[in-house]
Structure 1
Amino acid sequence: MSDNVIVGAIAQPEPGHRLAELYADKPVQRILCYTDSVRDVQLNNVAAFGVGLLRDLTERNAPFHTDFRLDLVQRHGNGHASDKLTAELLGKYDQVWFFGIQPCDLPEQDQPENELTGPEVAALRAWMDAGGGVLVTGDHSNPKPPGADPALDELLNLGRAIAHRVPRAGELRVWEGLPDSSIEFSHNTHQPDDRGSDINNPIPMDADHHPQQLILKRYLPSGRPHSLFSGKRGPITVFPDHMHEGQLRIPDSYPAEVWPSGPFGQPKPEIVARGTDKRNGSVYGVVSTYDGHAAGVGRIVADSTWHHYFNINLFGFLTEPAVAAKLGEYYVNLALWLAPPRARQQARARMLWWLVNHPVVRMAFGNPAADVGRTALGLLASVTNPATAHDLAWPLPTATDLPAELALGGQLVAYWQELNSTADTVPSPAELIDRGLRAAAEEHAAKLRESLARTENLSESIESGLRLTAS
């Protein structure tokens, strides 16, 4: 059964209806792929370094509650630094995915602004502080080109020019020094094929249908991976491979002026997926995340290489639909996770509206809130992954002991009560979510207090019972 059959038509109130404010239009996530290589990085399905397959897998696998649109902007598309990052350009997008090639400024080669300028960094900082999401990538290092700043390392990372000054995100990758592209000092995640191909060669290894297997961080108590790698049919453990990836970095310190704090503390980046070097068994970070939403700023994902997104590393999976489907899920998860809070709230409101109007859930109303939530979670399992469902049940950036079925059920009951109300005023989706979570929290606390009351004198009861059985 397809997701469209399960989702069905989403009921929309008539314009001017008292419930019209609760209906949420499907948000569209606008994603800017930003590059500095006019020749290599193209928005098509043919070029080796193209991102056409990435675009197709992301847009075609969009869930029922959010759509995606990927655009590509070339920094030097109309001449050197002709298309810089400005507040106006950034204002058109919710996310920026950096796919840079150039290593540094090269004034002697008439390339003085390969790197982001001060005004660009300032515009990015303001945009990111307002919730804009960033994917930052690069690749291995190459020898420093002639004319580069003598103070720079002799090895410079591909992609360094447009990424190393991105606020916060630039600190999450190694931009100078090793690893390089040599066999001795590279990071090789190529999965060996069944023909005995040399894993140190890009072809056929990059373009084959054998993905690398990831080692995922798991979170207690559920044991689930990070939301990026949560799939409808289990964790996403497959990823494109490459013979010389770059390296992630976790900062040594977190000054407050760079890494802000929020009501739940100071969020810090973490590595959530690792890969294995197939030559020596070494383990490297592949993907890291920074949940800026917990501090009121944008989220960040850092990746060891843009080869995880380019056509050349995706071509082989066109004949492996199961792998392609999992990669499509990852790209969708990436776009959803990086979405600004306002877009995530709109998507959440749309999902709640769909659930409260779905025949399966409507039949559960009148039962306890936890039963309503359990019914909704079962329905969600057919159309989304566990992480998205959990995010719907508990939208706050902190852990909770509140059962997911009760948290979600409380919100749906609040919606249902409003759908059956005749009051002149209608709360906003945020107000209903707040009302539902508070009701769920109080119900859970009442049950805990009742359980505590039953067990307070348990020691005395045990002692009395043991005396009785011994007599």
Structure 2
Amino acid sequence: MPNTSVLAEPDAIRILMVTDGGASFDQADFGLGTLVDVLRTPPGPWVRFEVTRAHREDNLPAQGADLTGFRFDGHDLGRYDQVWLFGVARAPRPPLDETELRALSEFMDGGGGVFATGDHEDLGVSMCGAVPRVRSMRKWHWPDPGPNGEPVAPSVDGPGRNDTLSEGHDPLFQLNDQSDDIPQVITPRLYATSDSPKWAHQAYPHPLLCGPRGTIRVLPDHPHEGECTVPDDLTRSFAFAGYEITEYPAGLAPEVVAWSTLNARAAELDPGKGRLDASTFGAIGAYDGHQVGVGRVAVDATWHHFFNINLVGDPTVPDDPVKSVGFAASASGRAAYEEIKAYFRNIAVWLSRPADQEAMWWRAVWATRWHHQVAMDVRPTLLGSPESLDLAELLRIGADARRVLTATVTRADALQWAGRYGVGAVDAGLWETVRPHLDPWQPRAGEEEAGHLPNLVMSLLPELVLDAVLGAVVYAVATAFPEPTGQARDGAADVDWPAEVRPYLDRALDVVAEQVRRTDTRLRALGDTLTTARRSGA
């Protein structure tokens, strides 16, 4: 059959996924086969993920890997965009050699993204516990602090364990409840679009937890998780085999972006584990190294959020209609699993280098332009004349485009990309100026200003700009390629899109600026009227 699609296959984001110990890449209980399958199904036509599976052992669980007996210094990490670490081996196995740590440090400083996780106590410390940034964003050492004062990780048992098991369908709490269809509920950190109080602004989760259906608030549960944290010391540097790495350049700190909350539980409810104290701990951590020219890092409290046994069921209970199939057992479980899969894919998108994310943006815009809902609404008489586009038309087609775009691109990514590669394509300096009002995730200095009514214009600005930018970009792309031809498909990758869309984005920013000025004037007039009325009535 001929290829009739106007969408070309996107370039792959290359992920090197590494594990050790008894973990595997197949469908075993402690396997990563389900995760790999999820990543091989991309969120949309604007990206695809290519996973290379590497195992540091030569044991039986390693047999499903593409690479066995893996070492970071014996392989060209430059072939990959991201490295995902699922550390299982614990002390007394030694940490990575200096030459391996150098290879990873150079990869990270060169913009490569890293994801890392272990479990309770020191599970994973051998592979992950000495890696810069990773070592201080999560607790890896037990029962004593690490060699650089790293905090002690939570224990597997005792009332202070990180036990996130949700109450299941049967009496009492037991280990295999982790394989049922009931997830834990997490609390995401929320971000606002100004330094003013958050209550008056649109709130956004971290991009890792922004799903196509809204904020991601669930993860698989487990009775003894690890913990993500934020280091106190942001000044450390390390030297590995002659290479020096500054752990946190410019003092930019990582964040905990989601927390797990534990309710107190009486001992008799859990015969295996006993009493549980109420507490809250970091479930997911993130470091936006792109802000300072290095790679991003994400960490998770446990690989049980990713292993087969916590997703698709426990093979040791084949007669249990729920725990044998995991989240597939119910409609609510399947809905939760969709959120969890979105989190997996978000990791791969968020860790991608800026140039790769810019390519994702333009591919997503290209796909949106050809979607029937958008293609049928573009007015041919307005093609080629950006000066004819008023705000109403830009917002009309932009709203259509946003609905199509955010079916596969998260709201967070759409907002970030429209700012960085939309507004920023017109004027990088302008983007940096307006960024505090448009980018909720930009690091901010100082405390939030309190005690006043914030500027309502700013609380409306992100979505207004997003729709106007999308409307402008759609009209620019439609002007350049009015028909879905093979030439359009094959030539789109070679277009200088920032230059192509600039006249349309210039127009969009001009009409948005005018609207903001008018709105601000009206609000000021309303404020003056209210003040005068209050004084006259006093």
TM-score scaled by length of structure 2 = 0.69
Distance verdict in 2 for CA 1:410–1:163, change over 3 Å: same
Residue type of the partner of 1:72?
R
SS at match of 2:40: helix
The correspondence of residues 51-70 of structure 1 with structure 2, limited to 5 A, is 51-70=32-51
Find the counterpart in structure 2 of residue 333 from structure 1. Answer: 346
Match of 1:353 in 2: 366
User: Aligned partner of 1:252: which letter?
Assistant: D
Offset of 1:224 from its aligned partner?
2.6
User: Structure 1 432/105 Cα, relative in aligned 2: closer, same or farther at 3 Å?
Assistant: farther
Find the aligned partners of 2:69 and 2:410 in 1 and give their Cα distance. 41
CA contact (8 A) 1:94 1:132 kept: yes
Q: Secondary structure at the match of 1:370?
A: helix
Bigger share in helix:
2
Separation of aligned partners in 2, 1:247 and 1:103: 16
**Corresponding residue of 1:188:** 163
Matches within 5 A, 1:278-317: 278=263, 279=265, 280-314=277-311, 315=313, 316-317=326-327
Aligned partner (choices 49, 72, 79) of residue 30 of structure 2: 49
Of residues 280-289 and 359-368 in structure 1, the stretch that sits farther from structure 2 once superposed is: 359-368
Is the contact made by 1:87 and 1:127 (CA closer than 8 Å) also made in structure 2?
Answer: no
Q: CA 1:307/1:452 → structure 2, altered by over 3 Å: closer, same or farther? A: closer
> Using a 3 Å threshold, how does the CA distance of structure 1 residues 431 and 85 change in structure 2: closer, same or farther?
farther
Counterparts of 1:137 and 1:194 in 2: how far apart (Å)?
A: 29
Deviation (angstroms), 1:457: 7.9
Give the alignment of 1:108-147 within 5 angstroms: 114-141=94-121
- In structure 2, do the counterparts of structure 1 residues 53 and 439 end up closer, same or farther at CA, with 3 Å as the change threshold? same
Q: 1:28 aligns with which of 9, 12, 21?
A: 12
| Aligned mates of 1:139, 1:296 — CA distance in 2 | 30
Query: Mapping of 1:218-237 within 5 angstroms?
Result: 218-220=190-192, 221-237=201-217
- Residue 399 of structure 2 corresponds to residue 374 of structure 1: yes
Q: Which residue of 1 aligns with 2:385?
A: none
Aligned residues: 414
Shift, 1:53, TM fit: 1.1
**SS of equivalent to 2:161:** coil
CA 1:437–1:163: 2 relative to 1, 3 Å: farther
For 2:304 and 2:11, the matched residues in 1 are separated by: 29
Contact 2:108 2:295 in 1 (8 A): yes
Name the counterpart of 1:144.
none
Q: In the superposition, relative to structure 1, how do residues 87 and 168 fare at CA in structure 2: closer, same or farther (>3 Å)? A: farther
* Cα distance in structure 1, aligned partners of 2:528 and 2:14: 64
Task: Decide which of 133, 150, 163 is 2:128's aligned counterpart.
Answer: 163
Q: Deviations over 1:313-345 (max 9, x none)?
A: 112123342222222111111111112222212
Deviations 1:219-273 (A, max 9, x none): 2232232222222223221211111111112011323933235xxxx64311111
Partner of 2:319: none
Deviation, 1:206, is: 2.0
Spell out, residue by residue over 1:109-142, the C-alpha distance to the aligned partner (whole angstroms, 9 max, x if none): xxxxx4222222222122112221111111111x
Structure 2 CA distance for aligned equivalents of residues 294 and 328 of structure 1: 27
Post-superposition offset of 1:274: 1.0
Q: How far 1:281 moved relative to its partner?
A: 2.9
Q: Gapped runs of 5+ residues in structure 1? A: 1-7, 13-23, 107-113, 142-156, 467-471
CA contact (8 A) 1:287 1:303 kept: yes
Correspondence for 1:11: 6
Q: Which residue, out of 258, 265, 269, partners 2:247? A: 258
Which residue of 1 is the match for residue 386 of structure 2? none
Structure 1 267/415 Cα, relative in aligned 2: closer, same or farther at 3 Å? farther
Residue in 2 that maps onto 1:343? 356
Of 358-367 and 298-307, more deviation after overlay is shown by: 358-367
Q: Paired residue for 2:270?
A: none
From 393, 399, 403, the counterpart of 2:418: 393
Give ranges in structure 2 of 5+ residues lacking alignment. Answer: 63-67, 142-151, 193-200, 237-245, 266-276, 314-325, 383-388, 422-431, 439-460, 484-493
Distance of 1:218 and 1:9 partners within structure 2: 42
Once the two structures are TM-superposed, the CA of residue 211 in structure 1 deviates from its matched residue by 0.9
Identical-residue share of aligned pairs (%)? 30
Q: Secondary structure at the match of 1:328?
A: helix
